[in-house]
Amino acid sequence: MGPSEPQADTHATMDKIVSLCRRRGFVFPSSEIYGGLGSTYDYGHYGVLLKNAIKERWFEAMLQERDDIVALDSAVILHPRVWEASGHVEGFTDPLVDCRTCKKRFRADQLEGASCERKPSRRPGEGPDCDLTEARQFNLMFETTVGPVQESGARAYLRPETAQGIFINFKNVLQLARRRPPFGIAQIGKSFRNEITPGNFLFRVREFELMEMEFFVPPAEADDWYRHWIDERLAWYVRYGIRPGAMRVRQHGAEELSHYSSGTSDIEYLYPIGWLELEGIANRGDFDLRRHSELSGTKLEYVDPGGERYVPHVIEPAVSVERMLLAFLVDAYHEEVVGERERVVLRLHPQIAPVKAAVLPLVAKDEAMVERARALYEELRLAHAVEYDDGGAIGRRYRRQDEIGTPFALTIDEQTLADDTVTIRNRDSLSQERIALAQASAYLSDALARPWAAPEGTPVAPAAE
């Protein structure tokens, strides 16, 4: 390997990801000027672009590349009986214990992995001063009051998942979208859970965006579709560059299954904190449609053209944008030595990267270069998310683009002025190619449409911290 070729030899840790997100304006702790609000985050410009790209690719796979799924955008606050029917009022709880000494709260079923506030080397309950309460069930739904008078207003909840908004619209979609099983309804939307122990950056937050798709099928086909969706979702991650070796499928044991589920598999990702659930794929059976039929009095069923009635079974892939974004960042993060210098690079799939190309005038004060660079930028941004960057030495600008994962940088230099060509620098290989300015737009469109995989030599296992 020559001195200027990159040597991938490092791994992401959670601290490095948090620091990159902050440094480059992807994600900030929320309400910082008031001292922050634990485990709540705001997204800056690149964070928004990255989230948008993730959501677009997900919707594309659901709505555009198939013709058996339709979209929905249901309300955040639903009729409170929805959550009675779904089992959330009674059962969406985690066991909670308080420590009377340090006033910290823990999940009773996760004490093993937690540490005592005063003696971090011990688990809660093991320190000399620990004084834990009995475990009690704590409902994770955020409550609110609908109506102007707090006492007499109706109690309602912020949705903890978007799925119920889909089930209660089953009849509308069936009739108005003229669908018959198997068909799906896909939704992306904010969801809220008052987690007892949020943490690990974006992994467990109280406010997150869920991407859920409920696929309604004839009961006899449920098992096949369940397997289909596990394969389909795994293939989606691989297609967008997540290394197959950093994912695995874990099937829930009988004791672990949710009340509605007759089978659930997690796609786990090897985060820097270990193998953890990235996405869940559940076979929800007919639980939800039956419960809503019972409580609402509206029959949620399908009558086929032969007159046979049945309640479809439901297969659900569900994942949050936050856990996905974190997995993409961890997977893409690399530190390399190029020549004598270190560089941090996000090797994001070009279709996931927040910025697709940067246009850089080599000398920011050279009027002729600036003019050409601005013209190229104006042309490219008609079709792609591109950025014009003239701040600082060219090396610094490349490093900035590497850190936000921009796959291509187009540099306007002396030679451009002489022969109307531009260099295109490839983020992964660091190769530089010179092409005609007039072809830059077509080149970029082609390059972005090509399949992409993590370059050879990319390590598979992020190191545990």
- Would you put residue 79 in left (φ > 0), alpha (ψ -120 to 50) or beta? beta
Distance CA(279)–CA(242), nearest Å, equals: 13
Shortest approach of ligand ATP to residue 61 CB, angstroms?
16
Shortest approach of ligand ATP to residue 173 CB, angstroms?
22
The SS3 call for residue 285 is strand
Q: Which is nearer to ligand ATP, 76 or 363 (CB)?
A: 76
Shortest approach of ligand ATP to residue 276 CB, angstroms?
7
Q: Peptide bond preceding 182: is omega within 30 degrees of 0, i.e. cis? A: yes
Dihedral over Cα of 77, 82, 84, 87: its sign: negative
Amino acid in position 202: L
Q: Which is nearer to ligand ATP, 164 or 416 (CB)?
A: 164
Taking only Cα atoms into account, the Rg of the chain, rounded to an integer number of angstroms, comes to 25
Shortest approach of ligand ATP to residue 273 CB, angstroms?
12
Q: Which is nearer to ligand ATP, 165 or 280 (CB)?
A: 280
Distance CA(363)–CA(400), nearest Å, equals: 17
Q: Which is nearer to ligand ATP, 275 or 443 (CB)?
A: 275
Residue nearest to ligand ATP according to CB distances in the complex: 320
Q: Which is nearer to ligand ATP, 69 or 188 (CB)?
A: 188
Shortest approach of ligand ATP to residue 398 CB, angstroms?
33
Relative to beta strand 432-436, strand 105-107 is unpaired
Q: Which is nearer to ligand ATP, 65 or 109 (CB)?
A: 109
Shortest approach of ligand ATP to residue 24 CB, angstroms?
22
Q: Which is nearer to ligand ATP, 277 or 379 (CB)?
A: 277
The DSSP code for 204 is B
Q: Which is nearer to ligand ATP, 280 or 354 (CB)?
A: 280
Q: Which is nearer to ligand ATP, 269 or 377 (CB)?
A: 269
Shortest approach of ligand ATP to residue 116 CB, angstroms?
22
Q: How far is CA 177 from CA 83, 181, 185, 214, in A?
A: 26, 12, 10, 15
Q: Which is nearer to ligand ATP, 30 or 441 (CB)?
A: 30
Contact in structure between 427 and 401 (CB atoms under 8 Å):
yes
Residues at the contact surface with ligand ATP, assessed by CB under 6 A: 193, 195, 204-205, 208, 210, 277, 279-280, 318-320, 322-323
Distance CA(114)–CA(92), nearest Å, equals: 22
Shortest approach of ligand ATP to residue 246 CB, angstroms?
16
Shortest approach of ligand ATP to residue 62 CB, angstroms?
16
Instruction: Provide the Cα torsion 142, 147, 150, 153; round to 10°.
Output: -90
CB atoms within 10 A of CB 364: 16
**CA angle in degrees (0–180, nearest 5) for 71-204-230:** 50
The DSSP code for 203 is T
Shortest approach of ligand ATP to residue 39 CB, angstroms?
9
Distance CA(394)–CA(413), nearest Å, equals: 11
**Element holding 161 (H helix, E strand):** none
Distance CA(414)–CA(401), nearest Å, equals: 22
- Would you put residue 55 in left (φ > 0), alpha (ψ -120 to 50) or beta? alpha
Q: Which is nearer to ligand ATP, 68 or 277 (CB)?
A: 277
Distance CA(223)–CA(213), nearest Å, equals: 17
Shortest approach of ligand ATP to residue 328 CB, angstroms?
13
Contact in structure between 411 and 372 (CB atoms under 8 Å):
no
Contact in structure between 55 and 351 (CB atoms under 8 Å):
no
